[in-house]
Amino acid sequence: MRQLFALPCLAAVLLLASPATQARVARIVIDKIERLADGSDYEVLRGRAFGVLDPAAPGNAVITDLQLAPRNAAGLVEYTSTFQLSKPLDMARASGVLWYELVNRAGLISTFPSITPQGHVTLVNGWQGDIAPTASNFTVQVPVARNADGSTITGTVMARLADVPAGTTSRTLAMLANAIPYDAASLETTQARLITKKAEKRSGETTGVQTVPAGEWAFADCSKTPFPGTPNPRMLCLKAGFDPALLYELTYLAKDPLVLGIGLAAIRDVASFFRYAATDDAGTANPVAARIKHALGHGTSQSGNALKTFLLQGFNQDEAKRIVFDGANPHIAGRLTAVNVRFGMPSGSGTLYEPGGEGVLWWTPYQDAARGRATASMLDRCRASNTCPKIFETFGAAEFNARLMTVALTGTDGKADLPLPSDVRRYYFPGTTHGGDDVGGFSPSPVAISSCVLAKNPNPQKETMAALQQALLQWVTQGTEPPPSGYPLLAAGDLVPNNAAAMGWPAIPKAPPPDGMAVGLMDYDYGSMLKANDFAGVLSQWPPAIRQTLPALMPKLNADGNETAGIASVLHQAPLGTYTGWNVTRSGFFQGQPCGGGLTGGYIAFARTQAERQAIGDPRLSLEERYGNQQGYVCTVQKVASREVVRRMLLPADAQRLVAQASTTPVLPSVTASAEATAMAERLCRN
């Protein structure tokens, strides 16, 4: 699988290929075919797609360092991407829809059950070239860029390590959670700089900065051999061991950058091949040839960021000038992915100093005067080629806290709502953690998170997403107008400054306030070699200077501390507590800062009875005061679910399931001694 650049049979095929089509999948190999384990009439094909790119082709011009990649005898750059195609055994029964799922850090995040089987073909393929292939993941093999004279390319990168357990002597170099996929150009520690920090705010302010002497550390693995250990260009060893109270920041020269932007072309070309091609160049048949009428792309979190980057950089037009995806759904994706930059790290999660907000983040033309940028939108390239898809942008509360959704909605000046184009819809899921809770349900009991102050947020997104994905399919395939967008608006007073008073946060006993939980847009200076609006080029300055921080806005809250704008889940509309998109780190170096990098939400349960809430001084009404008894709660859930079905925000089957779930989950006693509570329940069930 890693022999792409020594494939004589592929080179021979390419020499015979038409020069007019120089960015495509030239060959596919099916390595494995299996029936789906669920007994459906589906089969899964796993294989490899061998692609070629012409560095001179206009559609590839945006790919950073493609001109510096090695070429085959035909003058083309080669790559190999692993893929998985799920299809009906009988393609005559296929729906005509290709649902393409961008993998997240090379792994497949299960698509929502509304998509399969229904006769749809589903496709994934590797687009990330910095992750080692395994039997279960999906990666792309891309070349290393070299200078025009063949010499090694080097560049500055930065590693950051924190909360390393006491007694640890060596650690893989990483940007906190994500390993750095590049070797140090030299093992000489005098050519690098290692510092420690006693404290660091999310804004970048630090205290207690100390430089570690060059003789006190090494590029090495000391897990088995004492300092200076076994030389290793991707590991850091400390003579005195790591101190868990400190953050370690290493700036050094790396070598051999991968041409990672090829991954975006691999998405384009593999999806286009299975949508349009009859055979590959060698005559191997496309297993779904002539059966695909519509294609839709979906990405979640990091891969949703990649989908936005894909659209921004013009990859939705293939080499034959055809549209790749008719519909696109970047989900919980508040930034771009650092895939098409030199020494890129596309697995990044948006922590301090990580790139992702440098490019254009809005769907409509807007002049980013705050950062001195020209007017642009994410859709400029596809508008010029008439290849823009119909877009659903879906996201939740965590994307306001840890991502850059404020900027996407109001621009960098935050003064007015940016209008959405007619082919874009935006749906916001209030009070949800990153991606929503997988379990959902109606249990009022808090579930603790060891690393966070607040309990686990049970507020789901999955039921709403299932309905919206059906709506996107209907919009693309039938032209059915989707439900109207629903998200916070400045004009409606939904977005306010990031502090408890402005948001309307209630004084909940023992609960931390939301002040400072939202992360503003850091205006980083990565050097003059970055093409900022395109988010392509070279990040040459590490650590980047922070020119300014553009403040984040947050959604307005009601008296319960729950958000009011957007497309709320049934649970959010029949609340059992306060649901936040933020949480607070309990301990460690980042104690008091947003938990989970700002991606983890929280939950504060309501008191069960009026007496209980009054005893603790909770200003929020108790469950008994809201619903009376169990039947009152079930009636509330039933009404909300029925309303959401009419709005096309909930599938009928999910509505029935949720009502049944509420009926069997004890929230309140079925019978109460309080006449007032009984009357409350009766009113809810009668109205």
Q: What are phi and psi of 162, to 5 degrees?
A: -145, 160
Domain limit, last residue, from 222, 255, 288:
255
Domain limit, last residue, from 192, 223, 255:
255
Produce one character per residue of 129-144: b if its CB has 16 or more CB atoms within 10 Å, e if not. Answer: bbbebeeebbbbbbbb
Tokens of 187: 């093992």
Q: Is residue 568 domain-resident?
A: no
Number of structural domains found in the chain? 3
CA pseudo-torsion sign 15, 19, 21, 24: positive
Rounded to whole angstroms, the Cα distance separating 262 from 60 reads: 9
In this prediction, residue 10 has a pLDDT band, given cuts at 50, 70 and 90, of very low
Helices (H), 418-486: 462-478
CA angle in degrees (0–180, nearest 5) for 424-427-430: 160
Which residue in 632, 612, 639 sits closest to 677, CA to CA?
632
Q: CB of 459 within 8 A of CB of 436?
A: yes
Rounded to whole angstroms, the Cα distance separating 480 from 472 reads: 9
CA 595 to chain centre: 17
Rounded to whole angstroms, the Cα distance separating 303 from 306 reads: 5
Q: Is residue 71 domain-resident?
A: yes
pLDDT greater than 90 at residue 157 = yes
One domain for residues 265 and 229: no
In this structure, what CATH number is given to the domain that contains residue 330? 3.40.50
In this prediction, residue 108 has a pLDDT band, given cuts at 50, 70 and 90, of confident
Q: Which residue has the higher pLDDT, 291 or 687?
A: 291
Judge if pTM exceeds 0.85: yes
Q: Is residue 187 domain-resident?
A: yes
- Lowest pLDDT segment from 15-29, 378-392, 474-488, 632-646: 15-29
pLDDT tens per residue, range 408-441: 999 999 999 999 999 999 999 999 999 999 999 9
Give the model's pLDDT for residue 17.
Answer: 41
Q: Is residue 524 domain-resident?
A: no
Mean pLDDT of 255-275: 99
Distances (CA, A) of 66 to 12, 18, 54, 144, 676: 22, 21, 9, 10, 72
pLDDT greater than 80 at residue 126 = yes
One domain for residues 276 and 228: no
Q: CB of 65 within 8 A of CB of 259?
A: yes
One domain for residues 661 and 636: yes
Structural domain including 203 reads 154-255
Distances (CA, A) of 667 to 609, 625, 644: 11, 13, 22
Give the model's pLDDT for residue 22.
Answer: 56
One domain for residues 273 and 347: yes
Which residue in 541, 678, 235, 597 sits closest to 399, CA to CA?
597
Q: Is residue 496 domain-resident?
A: no
Rounded to whole angstroms, the Cα distance separating 300 from 313 reads: 19
Q: Is residue 354 domain-resident?
A: yes
One domain for residues 223 and 116: no
Indicate the length of the chain as a whole number: 687
Rounded to whole angstroms, the Cα distance separating 38 from 117 reads: 11
Strand partners, 101: 298
One domain for residues 284 and 188: no
One domain for residues 87 and 211: no
Q: Is residue 195 domain-resident?
A: yes
pLDDT greater than 80 at residue 283 = yes
Q: What are phi and psi of 271, to 5 degrees?
A: -65, -40
Tokens of 424: 């874009």
Domain limit, last residue, from 255, 274, 305:
255
One domain for residues 227 and 304: no
Helix (H, G, I), strand (E, B) or coil at 617: coil
Q: Is residue 133 domain-resident?
A: yes
pLDDT tens per residue, range 385-413: 999 999 999 999 999 987 789 999 999 99
One domain for residues 276 and 390: yes
One domain for residues 187 and 208: yes
One domain for residues 250 and 263: no
One domain for residues 199 and 325: no
